[in-house]
Structure 1
Amino acid sequence: MTTYTARPIGPVTLKELRTSDDAGRPMDPFVDEEGGAPLRCCLRRSTPGERIALVSYAPLRRWAGETGVDPGAYDEQGPVFLHADPCEGPDLDGYPFTGAHRTVRRYGRDGRILGGRLVEDGVGPAIEEAFADPDVALVHVRAVEYGCFLYEVRRGR
């Protein structure tokens, strides 16, 4: 069995998002009084008192920019939380943000959606199933309750 890894938003992209997000807005940091926000920079939930920001992020556009693909109509952007200042990044074993309904969305090398799967708990088997298809280049895991992008999983990493 191949092990795939949840990928946080990369450091270069984080630096860009902390200046101007994918909708062109400047970052507006705040202190998270309650905690619990899913941070895409380190793939953990925020703790009370941390300085975070909510920014607009276009994950498929970013991937497409690396690969030279035009994502076309699949170029979605949406809100993600991240630390307002650089952090250590993830320290995890397995897949984060489990315990709730998730969508595992498959994308081909051309940036088009190849399918998706709703999972109730534990995305691992759905990710393995997705990558059993040789046409799948990457997978996005999203929260069902808000539709938010949580993280990306790529083939061969």
Structure 2
Amino acid sequence: MTRYCARAVEPTVLKELRSADDAGRETVPVTDEEGGAPLRCCLRRSRPGERIALVSYAPLRRWAAETGADPGAYDEQGPVFIHAGECPGPRGGGLPFTDSHRTLRRYSAEGRILGGRLVEAGFEAVLADAFDDPEVALVHVRAVEYGCFLYEVRRP
């Protein structure tokens, strides 16, 4: 049984991103002809013909605004795919997009990075190791190939 759960981008944030992204750019929906884009709204890969958008997202900045933390120089934004319109969100729990090498970055409650780790397999064990450190408040899972934010994991 999975102890950890991936957190998709929150519906209220998605609503904002579907209008303008975290870089202030207007969102431009497209039809995904090929499919396969990792969607951060429902934590699955897109299907051919779906309407999606590539937007700039600042996950740590959004989290810091919610918690009062100050990520300082770690406040980065980057590209993420989302459905262009509302979607039902994730179905089921677990950890998606673990089919490739990933980087897991650990952050403190103050928004400071506490380290990172390249992971090929054994995500549950690496998350357990990360959360064994009482200073770790959350972990970001990122794609190695482009460095994109995939999802956040918080303490169980």
- Asked if these proteins are the same fold (TM beyond 0.5), I'd say yes
**In structure 2, what is the Cα distance between the partners aligned to 1:122 and 1:96?**
13
Q: Are 2:75 and 1:69 aligned? A: no
Q: Are 2:127 and 1:127 aligned? A: yes
Alignment of 1:9-28 (within 5 A): 9-28=9-28
Amino acid across the alignment from 2:33 = E
**RMSD across aligned C-alpha pairs, in angstroms?**
1.3
Alignment of 1:71-150 (within 5 A): 71-150=71-150
User: Where in structure 2 are there 5+ consecutive unaligned residues?
Assistant: none
Runs of 4+ in 1 over 6 A off after TM superposition: none
CA contact (8 A) 1:51 1:83 kept: yes
Is the deviation greater in 112-121 or in 90-99? 90-99
Residue in 1 aligned with 2:38? 38
TM superposition score normalised by structure 1: 0.96
Change (3 A) 1:2 1:89: closer
Identity %: 73
CA contact (8 A) 2:3 2:124 kept: no
CA contact (8 A) 1:99 1:122 kept: no
Residue in 2 aligned with 1:50? 50
User: Where in structure 1 are there 5+ consecutive unaligned residues?
Assistant: none
SS at match of 2:110: coil
SS at match of 1:19: coil
TM superposition score normalised by structure 2: 0.96
Aligned residues between the structures: 156
Amino acid across the alignment from 2:135 = D
What CA deviation, in whole Å up to 9, does each residue of 1:115-137 have, x standing for no partner? 11111124221111111111100
**In structure 1, what is the Cα distance between the partners aligned to 2:2 and 2:103?**
20
Change (3 A) 1:115 1:88: same
CA contact (8 A) 2:4 2:95 kept: no
**In structure 1, what is the Cα distance between the partners aligned to 2:47 and 2:133?**
38
